[in-house]
């Protein structure tokens, strides 16, 4: 399988011509990119957008690469309905990466005084953002203690030609790696990688064991080893088919204001770990693409978050509950805070047993709704109908106060502490319950065919 972004976009365009939109007219880096993303989303569309002419730059901007479940399913080679199950399976089939010596991003390397981040078409997303932000920069670093590599997405505020602010607010591996390096009085060498195949992005968001590098997870998604290559100024490997690699380090003991920025919650956030990234080199392909991820609640920002959490929930639940029939982490909950789980109960209490398991998968989750297997977890109207007709508040709510939550959740306190809620919206196990209205399958098939013939 080709491991570069360009090959993916070309293949996706051949398969779904309407899902890749090439914008030939000039656009500004200030707000225009985000405005077009928002207009397509208003029309309930999430095409890959390629801005060929960005004012003041000779580098095109590509965004919405990971905005839709259709694109993610295409990358994995599966149907949309099978996306979470296939992802959950493949992230356990890890493959160690292989090193290639001469990657495309070595073609042009800027060092020292040549470095100037203003040469890149870095957008302004929303009025109110503190400045220009790298949103699609995948940060790569190694554990100072074990050497295990990690990668993940963090926001980078451009502050000068070779200086950025970065927030490690997810408080996962990267936060811990930087803390360990800082405890030794050392900077953390790392690289910001732009322009990646969707499977690299999807693998970077997985939660493997601490002794497993995420490049191994990406290899499992590809079904072959991920090709990596050395950076030019630091001892670190990054995906070999990247478009642009910004090399540098996160300083030890340095903090300075970063933000506000329009976050995945749909609100501006001033909460930040306020770390400082200094650039040592910018390496890039010939005529590179600059990848952007729309900020706020844009599908490009949050669709993959939901998929990853669905897969992790599936893997956690199926270890202890045999008949899980569906999991969905919806966009309405910013693909982070809400999860819907469908199961076929085989024992009394299974639905309530599932709730703390799901909440324990990811500290961002704070609302879990468990429904019966006749409910479509991808249809929120169906889920809410189950809540309305099968839940009783005095018996079916599970509340966990004072729990670790997301620092960026504006409803949490300033330490990120939150309360969590589980709702058992299943029918009482083994007890008589009203019969659901269901039309015969052959009549529904007839109705679908008739509507198709009528064409409206």
Of the three residues 289, 308, 334, the one that is the final residue of a domain is 289
Residues 397 and 281 grouped into a single domain: no
Domain-embedded: residue 56: no
Domain-embedded: residue 32: no
What is the number of alpha carbons within 13 Å of residue 126 lying toward its C-beta?
A: 21
Residue 366: what pLDDT? 94
Question: DSSP class of residue 333?
Answer: G
Residue 456: what pLDDT? 65
Residues 129 and 230 grouped into a single domain: yes
Residues 324 and 285 grouped into a single domain: no
Domain-embedded: residue 312: no
Residues 278 and 181 grouped into a single domain: yes
Looking at the structure of the chain, the number of domains it has is: 2
Question: DSSP class of residue 82?
Answer: G
* Residue with the two structure tokens 């198709």: 452
Provide the CATH number for the domain around residue 373.
3.40.1670.10
Q: How far apart are CA 343 and CA 369, in angstroms?
A: 11
Taking the CA atoms of residue 146, residue 148, residue 149 and residue 153 in that order, the dihedral angle to the nearest 10 degrees is -80
Q: Give the SS3 label for residue 115.
A: coil
* Residue with the two structure tokens 């000068």: 160
Taking CA 204 as the corner, what is the angle to CA 275 and CA 323, rounded to the nearest 5 degrees?
125
Domain-embedded: residue 315: no
> Does the predicted model carry a pTM greater than 0.85?
no
Q: How far apart are CA 375 and CA 383, in angstroms?
A: 6
Q: 249: cis peptide before it, omega within 30°?
A: no
Of the three residues 239, 271, 289, the one that is the final residue of a domain is 289
Residues 265 and 414 grouped into a single domain: no
Residues 354 and 418 grouped into a single domain: yes
Residues 268 and 386 grouped into a single domain: no
Domain-embedded: residue 248: yes
Residue 306: what pLDDT? 86
Domain-embedded: residue 9: no
Tokens at 51, concatenated: 């801005």
Tokens at 49, concatenated: 């957008």
Residues 236 and 363 grouped into a single domain: no
Provide the CATH number for the domain around residue 237.
2.30.110.10
Domain-embedded: residue 141: yes
Residue 171: what pLDDT? 72
Residues 251 and 335 grouped into a single domain: no
pLDDT (tens place) for every residue of the chain, 456 residues total: 689 999 999 999 999 999 999 999 999 999 999 999 989 988 889 999 999 999 999 999 999 999 899 999 999 999 988 888 899 899 889 999 999 989 999 999 999 899 999 999 999 999 889 999 999 999 999 999 999 998 989 999 999 999 999 998 777 888 999 999 999 999 999 999 999 999 999 998 888 888 899 999 999 999 999 999 999 999 999 999 999 999 999 999 999 999 898 887 888 888 888 999 999 999 999 999 999 998 877 777 878 888 889 989 998 999 899 899 999 999 888 888 999 999 999 899 999 999 999 999 989 999 999 999 999 999 999 999 999 999 999 999 999 999 988 888 888 888 889 999 999 999 999 889 988 888 899 988 999 899 998 976
Domain-embedded: residue 185: yes
Q: Taking Cα atoms as reference points, which of 137, 144, 98, 106 lies closest to residue 120?
A: 137
Of the three residues 289, 309, 330, the one that is the final residue of a domain is 289
| Cβ–Cβ under 8 Å, residues 448 and 304 | no
Alpha-carbon distances of 438 from 113, 185, 342, 355, 441, rounded to whole Å: 70, 66, 18, 28, 9
Domain with 110 in it: 82-289
> Residue 184: phi, psi to the nearest 5?
-90, 0
Residues 153 and 207 grouped into a single domain: yes
Residues 236 and 369 grouped into a single domain: no
Residues 159 and 253 grouped into a single domain: yes
């Amino acid at each position: 399988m080709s491991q570069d972004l360009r090959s993916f976009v070309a293949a996706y365009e051949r398969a779904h011509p309407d899902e890749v939109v090439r914008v030939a007219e000039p656009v500004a880096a200030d707000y225009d990119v985000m405005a077009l993303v928002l207009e397509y989303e208003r029309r309930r569309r999430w095409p890959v957008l390629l801005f060929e002419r960005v004012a003041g730059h000779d580098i095109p901007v590509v965004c919405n690469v990971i905005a839709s479940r259709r694109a993610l399913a295409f990358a994995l080679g599966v149907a949309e309905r099978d996306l979470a199950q296939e992802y959950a399976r493949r992230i356990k089939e890890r493959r160690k990466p292989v090193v290639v010596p001469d990657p495309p991003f070595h073609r042009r390397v800027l060092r020292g005084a040549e470095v100037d981040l203003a040469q890149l078409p870095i957008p302004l997303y929303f009025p109110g953002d503190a400045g220009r932000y790298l949103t699609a920069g995948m940060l790569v670093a190694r554990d100072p203690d074990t050497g295990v590599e990690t990668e993940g997405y963090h926001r980078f505020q451009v502050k000068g030609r070779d200086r950025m602010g970065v927030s490690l607010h997810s408080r996962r591996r990267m936060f811990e790696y930087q803390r360990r390096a800082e405890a030794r009085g050392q900077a953390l060498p790392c690289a910001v990688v732009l322009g990646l195949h969707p499977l690299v992005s999807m693998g970077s968001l997985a939660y493997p064991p601490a002794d497993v590098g995420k490049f191994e997870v990406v290899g499992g998604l590809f079904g072959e080893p991920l090709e990596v290559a050395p950076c030019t100024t630091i001892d670190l490997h990054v995906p070999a088919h990247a478009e642009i690699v910004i090399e540098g380090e996160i300083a030890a003991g340095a903090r300075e204001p970063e933000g506000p920025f329009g976050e995945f919650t749909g609100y501006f956030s001033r909460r930040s770990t306020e770390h400082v990234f200094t650039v040592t080199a910018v390496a890039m392909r010939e005529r590179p693409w600059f990848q952007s991820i729309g900020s706020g609640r844009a599908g490009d920002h949050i669709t993959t978050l939901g998929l990853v959490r669905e897969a992790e929930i599936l893997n956690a639940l199926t270890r202890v509950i045999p008949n899980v029939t569906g999991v969905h982490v919806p966009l309405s909950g910013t693909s982070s805070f809400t999860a819907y789980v469908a199961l076929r109960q085989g024992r009394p209490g299974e639905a309530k047993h599932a709730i703390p398991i799901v909440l324990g998968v990811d500290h961002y989750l704070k609302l879990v709704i468990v429904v019966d297997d006749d409910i479509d977890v991808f249809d929120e109207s169906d889920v809410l109908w189950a809540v309305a007709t099968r839940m009783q508040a005095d018996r079916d709510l599970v509340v966990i106060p004072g729990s670790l939550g997301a620092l960026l959740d504006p409803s949490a306190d300033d330490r990120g502490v939150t309360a969590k809620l589980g709702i058992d919206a299943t029918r009482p196990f083994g007890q008589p319950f009203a019969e659901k209205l269901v039309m015969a399958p052959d009549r529904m098939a007839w109705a679908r065919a008739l509507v198709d013939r009528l064409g409206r």
